[in-house]
Structures are given as structure tokens and as C-alpha cells.
């Protein structure tokens, strides 16, 4: 079977995003026929031996890359990060109730569009969430120091939630806000959808990490969860009703999903398989240490050229909160942003329009965007600024 090829893409879309061509080539073969099966990986039973091997292999590779301790469990859910907004809230309140007999009041660090949406979902569910911190302004151009956040009570706070990288606003935590957890008494929950596996992290510091795959490590349809095992047990339906805690739909009920090794219902095995291929590729190329080093170099190169031309490019995010994944900026001058996107397209640089809610320009430089491709973009930026 011939392997399909494609020209090298300079696609800076925020997600679904670019994947390594070698991963897609292998996935395309496996989609037709997988191992000894007469059918492809997207057609095999989710409870077959080969499918379970894919799930187990993917979990093992995640554990190897992130050095996940035995205190934590890995599982997968259908959907994206938005699924996590509600599933985190209902599952962790049910867990808190099992430990304390209380409903509790979760806390949220609102630092951008996605953490705001997650807070709003918790409020919509009737959970009366606390605000641990708001963005430094309404446009979310930075993150307040953790010592300025609300002081939380571990006796009544089931978890504190934050989004590690705000894809829309170009804001990223350069270190997890562990100081807000009252010496670890409050579980720290992080949405890492758009910077997952872009840098090294200490999983032991987190109660729960979740990440939609389609930004940086896979295709749409699956979300990765890493949960501390003591947060899995929950109270039953009767107690949830007494405490006025919403009951989690069974397909998103963490104890059920973990018990069934992520295959309680029909998990999209092809999507998990693509994730596994990305993980293998990452390991073969030096793991997170090598990937983080390249990501730092890419971000420094791109921010460096933009900072050279402050009369033309406006970078709204404070330097200590700038994202290494999503570089956002606006261009001074009537029609300049449209001209930028048009001329970039003529040089086959695509996916650069900012999010519809904020406008401007956004260059997403995820793992699959290499240094050479970022160099091509920075060369274009220099030429545009000099024209």
C-alpha cells in the first residue's frame, strides 16, 4: 500500500490543529486495515482485544511521558474540553460529598474565555461557584499573582479550577497556582486542552487534569483525564438529591468510566489510536524535555520579531503571562490586519485570523509546528513590517 504524502504545511490554526505528517500517514494506513483485522481501526469493536490494547498502550505512553504517579488514574471521555466543564463540576462535588457529607462551593480562577465559560457552566448547574480571581482586566491580558487571589476554605471548597492556557486570549500560567490550594488541601483542577504535553509538569500537584486532544495531541472527539484516585469514589443518587448536587450522566460518570477502562460506551478508538501515535512520535523525538525546549525557542523567536516593531504590532498580553502556544496581537492601521492575513496566505501561511470574539491575529504554534515553520512566519512578519 502506497503511503499518502502532502507538502509541508505552515498552518497556525488554533484547533483542530496541525499533526505530524508521519502520524497521519500511519493513521491513514490503519484506517483501512489494522494489524491482522480485515477492517480498519475505526471499525473494530471497542471491546475487542485490539481496541483494549490501544487504550492500554495509550495510557501507558501517557504515564511514561508525564511520569504519572501510582496515585493517579488515566481515562478517556468522548467530547472535548467543554464536556469537562460540566463533568468536572458534578463528579468532584459528588466526591467531596463522599468525604465530607457537604455539597461544597467550588472555586474558579477566571483568566480568559475558557475558564469563564467553565465558571458559567458551574453556575448554570446551580453549584454557586466562587471566584478565586478575575483577569487583571475585562480583556484578560494577564494573570494576577496568586497571593492576591481569594483565600479559600478547604473545609468548604471541593476544588480550585483554572485553565492553564487560554487559547483565545493568549494567556498562559508559567507555573501552576499550587499556593491557592491551602498546602494541597484543596484539589487543583486544570484544563490543559491547548498546551497539553507542550512542557513538563508535576502531575502529583494536581487533583485532576483534563485536555481535549484536538489542540495539540490528536483529533477532535476525545478528552484525556488524569485524576487522583482518592477523588474517584462518590456518594450515591439518594445523597446527591439530598445535597442538591446534579447527577452526572452515566457516560461521564468517572467511577463508571474508570471501572470500564474508558469503554463503558463506544469510545472512538480511531481517535485514541491517533493520540497514541502522537505520543509514540513524541517519545521517539526526545519526550517532553526536547519538546519544551523547542517550544520555548519558537515562542522567543516569534515574540522577538513582534516586539521589534511596537509601532505596528500591539501585543496585549503582559510578558509574564504570554502563551507559548497561542501568540495574539493586533496590527495598527486601517485594513492592516486583513492585508496581513491576505499576504500571509499568498506565502502559504494560513490559520492566522484571531478568534471571532476578539479579532486580531493569532498564531498557534503547537508541538507539530517546528522551528523552521515559525522561522518562515517571522521572516514574513519582518517583510510586512518593512514594507
Would you please indicate which residues are annotated as catalytic (active-site) residues?
A: 114, 191, 215
Strand (E) positions, 145-229? Answer: 160-163, 165-166, 171-172, 188-191, 208-212, 222-228
Identify the burial level of 347 via C-beta atoms within 10 angstroms of its C-beta, where 0-12 means exposed, 13-18 middle and 19 or more buried.
middle
- Of 34, 153, 167, the closest CA to residue 104 belongs to 153
Rounded Cα–Cα distance for residues 86 and 253 (Å): 11
End-to-end Cα spacing for the chain: 48
What single-letter DSSP state applies at residue 247? P
Establish how many alpha carbons lie within 13 A of residue 241's alpha carbon, considering only the half-sphere containing its beta carbon: 3
Q: If you search the block for the grid coordinates 515553520, which residue do you land on?
A: 373
Rounded Cα–Cα distance for residues 209 and 227 (Å): 7
**Phi, psi for 190 (deg, rounded to 5):** -135, 130
Q: Is cis: bond before 166, omega within 30 of 0? A: no
Amino acid at each position: 500500500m502506497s503511503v499518502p504524502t502532502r507538502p509541508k504545511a505552515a498552518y497556525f490554526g488554533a484547533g483542530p490543529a496541525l499533526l505530524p505528517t508521519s502520524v497521519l500517514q500511519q493513521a491513514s494506513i490503519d484506517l483501512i486495515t489494522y494489524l491482522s483485522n480485515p477492517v480498519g481501526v475505526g471499525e473494530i469493536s471497542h471491546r475487542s482485544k485490539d481496541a483494549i490494547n490501544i487504550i492500554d498502550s495509550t495510557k501507558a505512553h501517557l504515564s511514561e511521558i508525564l511520569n504519572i504517579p501510582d496515585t493517579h488514574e488515566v481515562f478517556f471521555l468522548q467530547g472535548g474540553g467543554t464536556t469537562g466543564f460540566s463533568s468536572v463540576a458534578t463528579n468532584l462535588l459528588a466526591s467531596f460529598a463522599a468525604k465530607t457529607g457537604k455539597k461544597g462551593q467550588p472555586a474558579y480562577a477566571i483568566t480568559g474565555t475558557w475558564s469563564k465559560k467553565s465558571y458559567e457552566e458551574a453556575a448554570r448547574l446551580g453549584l454557586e461557584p466562587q471566584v478565586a480571581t478575575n483577569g487583571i482586566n475585562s480583556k484578560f491580558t494577564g494573570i494576577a499573582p496568586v497571593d492576591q487571589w481569594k483565600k479559600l476554605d478547604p473545609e468548604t471548597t471541593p476544588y480550585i479550577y483554572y485553565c492553564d492556557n487560554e487559547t483565545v486570549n493568549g494567556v498562559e500560567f508559567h507555573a501552576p497556582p499550587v499556593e491557592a490550594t491551602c498546602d494541597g488541601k484543596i484539589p487543583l483542577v486544570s484544563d490543559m486542552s491547548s498546551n497539553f504535553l507542550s512542557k513538563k509538569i508535576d502531575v502529583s500537584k494536581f487533583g485532576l487534569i483534563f485536555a481535549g486532544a484536538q489542540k495539540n495531541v490528536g483529533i477532535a472527539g476525545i478528552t484525556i483525564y488524569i485524576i487522583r484516585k482518592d477523588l474517584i469514589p462518590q456518594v450515591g443518587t439518594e445523597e446527591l438529591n439530598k445535597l442538591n448536587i446534579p447527577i452526572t450522566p452515566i457516560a461521564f460518570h468517572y467511577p463508571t468510566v474508570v471501572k470500564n477502562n474508558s469503554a463503558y460506551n463506544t469510545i472512538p478508538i480511531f481517535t485514541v489510536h491517533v493520540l497514541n501515535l502522537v505520543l509514540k512520535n513524541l517519545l521517539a523525538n526526545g519526550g517532553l524535555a526536547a519538546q519544551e525546549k523547542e517550544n520555548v525557542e519558537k515562542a522567543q523567536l516569534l515574540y522577538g520579531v513582534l516586539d521589534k516593531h511596537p509601532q505596528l504590532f500591539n501585543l496585549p498580553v503582559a510578558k509574564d503571562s504570554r502563551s507559548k502556544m497561542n501568540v495574539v496581537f493586533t496590527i495598527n492601521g486601517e485594513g492592516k490586519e486583513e492585508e496581513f492575513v491576505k499576504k500571509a496566505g499568498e506565502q502559504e501561511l494560513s490559520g492566522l485570523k484571531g478568534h471571532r470574539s476578539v479579532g486580531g491575529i493569532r498564531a498557534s504554534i503547537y508541538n507539530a509546528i517546528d522551528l523552521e515553520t515559525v522561522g518562515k512566519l517571522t521572516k514574513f512578519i519582518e517583510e510586512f513590517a518593512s514594507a
